[in-house]
Amino acid sequence: MLDEFSRLGLRDVVLSPGSRSQALALAAAEYERAGILRVRVRIDERVAGFLGLGLAVETRVPVVVMMTSGTAVANLHPAVLEAYHSGVPLIVLSSDRPESLRGIRSNQTTQQPGIFGAATPLGWDVPAPTGAEGEEAAAQAVAREAWTAALAGLGGRPGPVHVNVAFSEPLSSATRLPERAGENDRPRSAEPDEPPTPAALSLAPAPRTVVVAGTGAGAVAEETARALGAPLLAEVTSGAHFGPQLVVAYRELLDDPEFGGAVERVVVFGHPTLSRQVPALIQRSGVETIVVRSPGADDYNPGHRVTAFAEAVTVVGDPDSSAEARAWLGRWVFASRALLEPPPAPTAAQLGNAEFARRELAAIRQPVDRRMLVEAVWRSTWPHDRLVLGASRLIRVADAALPGKRIPVHANRGLAGIDGTIATALGIALATPSGGTTRVLLGDLAALHDAGALLFGAGEVRPRIQVIVGNDGGGTIFDTLEVAGSAPQDALDRVLLTPQTVDFESLAGAYGWQYLRASTRGELDQALTASAEPTLIEVPLER
């Protein structure tokens, strides 16, 4: 099975140790020894699942995650759900007891086939091998089917699949690679089908149109906005947060009747999740909405008000060059800039050298706030780097304030959970070409939720990564929600804020990470300088 996966294009295997999966793990180790596969070992299956997710997000190639039986499999559920809703190709290769040991309270045995429910609509329950004729061909067939399904099994979209393999005792013996392991010229009984080129819906430029880009939209959203001559409302994680038509302050403008109230057509790419204004716009009477389908389980359809879905769109005709059309675009872009751009700072000639120097020094010593933090991380990240944003208050600050810049930005927005953020970022970092730094920006609770991902085992690759923790002592995102205005303060703090006082320096030291603390603007800019060692940067923030 591993041999067939490797010839189909598998390069990364993530595994967690266990008895029932020992044959698979030892076989994977031999493939790594032969230079055919890369193996990543993590003791925590939840971390392993999100690490595999990050590897697949960056490479867009299926990753195999293998583990033993029982709760080990269940620990993959959060990562599988995120892969399902984000359209990430993932192959869960679990080990199991044979059929004869199921349902009789055998140790570490549960009902593993179908354990992920709707999140893995395609799965295989493979009987324990006995050495019978045809087993090798059957294993190859399962690998081919699983690989094809992970790439395009969810209605033509990528997603997670589950291969559950039973093993009888004795569980393993000496492992020997096939004579032509990993070679690509061996004939196969079936080739994975290439997904058909999707039919495109033709769009003509029209007045009062906006283009919305959510997570995973990609550069095609920016290209479409230019072709339509329309404002681009692109979230920071969209891959389209750049270009002359970008409207960063889209929330404020959508709330304004002269802007949002005048929209007649919306073209949506990706999965918008970072504002309430976008779904409210789509649900408003009289607005035509066209959603371009993206990877993931469900079509984006707020209030079931979407007018049409398309696999792709093609703009026909030139952008409307009328005065009305130019004014429509220009008003959005200039209004957004006016809302965000600070007044020009006085120059040395205006202030005098001494006063100018004093103000510059004061700026360097200024305590870090959330906007300063996201802006500093944004400035420090370049196209050869990767930026990962956790599900916290900071991603919304970034989305509302950061200017356009064409850099790779990732976030687990399929279900927008805080779990697995560091592990996902590590997977992305391991798959990023050498020379780049992966920065993951997240809140303190998201960091603590995934603290186990900081562990590198002996012999594991330590990528260039900075984990930047905005530490405001708990889940302060609830301070920005309606509940903060009605709930008793002590109850709000106890069950929602959930304050914490963890010593992040000791935590970093326990896992062998370099630690830096940045409480001022000058310290932050210095800390964000790329370093070779995995680094945890703690940034204290006011509640």
Q: CA nearest 130: which of 88, 169, 81, 82?
A: 169
Looking at residue 100, its pLDDT comes to 66
CA atoms within 13 A on the CB side of 221: 35
Average pLDDT of span 441-464: 96
pLDDT in tens, 284-338: 999 999 999 998 888 999 999 999 999 999 999 887 777 888 899 999 999 999 9
| Tokens (6 digits) for 42 | 């993590």
- What is the CB neighbour count within 10 angstroms for residue 264? 12
Dist. CA 228–CA 208, nearest whole Å? 11
Contact between 391 and 467 (Cβ < 8 Å): no
CATH topology of domain 2-166: Rossmann fold (3.40.50)
| Tokens (6 digits) for 139 | 């294993």
What is the DSSP secondary-structure string of 117-177?
A: GGG-SSEEEEPPP---TTHHHHHHHHHHHHHHHHHHTBTTB--EEEEEEE-PSS-------
Dist. CA 236–CA 398, nearest whole Å? 7
Dist. CA 498–CA 488, nearest whole Å? 14
**The residue to which tokens 């993530």 are assigned:** 14
> By percentage, how much of the chain surpasses pLDDT 70?
94
Mean per-residue pLDDT of the chain: 91
Q: Which helix (H) or strand (E) holds 439?
A: strand 438-443
How do the domains of the chain map onto residue ranges? Answer: 2-166, 200-340, 349-540
**The residue to which tokens 């809703």 are assigned:** 85
Q: Lowest-pLDDT range, 143-152, 198-207, 452-461?
A: 198-207
pLDDT band per the 50, 70, 90 thresholds, residue 72: very high
Prior bond of 302 cis (ω within 30°): no
Q: Is the pLDDT of residue 536 over 50?
A: yes
> By percentage, how much of the chain surpasses pLDDT 90?
74
Please indicate whether the domains covering 2-166 and 200-340 agree at the CATH topology level.
yes
Which residues fall within 8 angstroms of residue 456, CB to CB, at 6 or more apart?
A: 462, 511, 512, 534
496 vs 17, residue with greater confidence:
17
Average pLDDT of span 417-432: 96
Q: CA nearest 214: which of 120, 302, 320, 327?
A: 302
Q: Which helix (H) or strand (E) holds 95?
A: strand 90-96
| Tokens (6 digits) for 200 | 């495109």
Which residues fall within 8 angstroms of residue 480, CB to CB, at 6 or more apart?
A: 393
Contact between 351 and 251 (Cβ < 8 Å): no
Q: How far is CA 96 from CA 20, 141, 149, 171, 307, in A?
A: 7, 19, 22, 11, 46
* Dihedrals phi, psi of 138, to nearest 5 degrees: -65, -40
pLDDT band per the 50, 70, 90 thresholds, residue 491: confident
| CATH number corresponding to 200-340 | 3.40.50.1220
* Dihedrals phi, psi of 208, to nearest 5 degrees: 60, 40
Q: CA nearest 52: which of 337, 401, 428?
A: 428
Dist. CA 394–CA 371, nearest whole Å? 8
Q: Is the pLDDT of residue 3 over 80?
A: yes
C-alpha 289 chain-centroid distance:
26
pLDDT in tens, 337-389: 999 987 676 766 777 777 667 776 777 778 999 999 999 999 999 999 999 99
* Dihedrals phi, psi of 313, to nearest 5 degrees: -130, 150
Contact between 123 and 113 (Cβ < 8 Å): yes
pLDDT in tens, 135-193: 999 999 999 999 999 999 878 899 999 999 999 887 877 667 777 666 655 544 444 45
- Would you mind telling me the total number of residues written for the chain in this entry? 543
Looking at residue 182, its pLDDT comes to 63
Looking at residue 101, its pLDDT comes to 66
Looking at residue 319, its pLDDT comes to 78
Dist. CA 96–CA 110, nearest whole Å? 9
Looking at residue 190, its pLDDT comes to 45
Looking at residue 37, its pLDDT comes to 96
Looking at residue 191, its pLDDT comes to 47
Instruction: Kindly state which CATH superfamily the domain 349-540 is placed in.
Output: Thiamin diphosphate (ThDP)-binding fold, Pyr/PP domains (3.40.50.970)
Dist. CA 394–CA 375, nearest whole Å? 11
Q: CA nearest 370: which of 400, 335, 347, 348?
A: 400
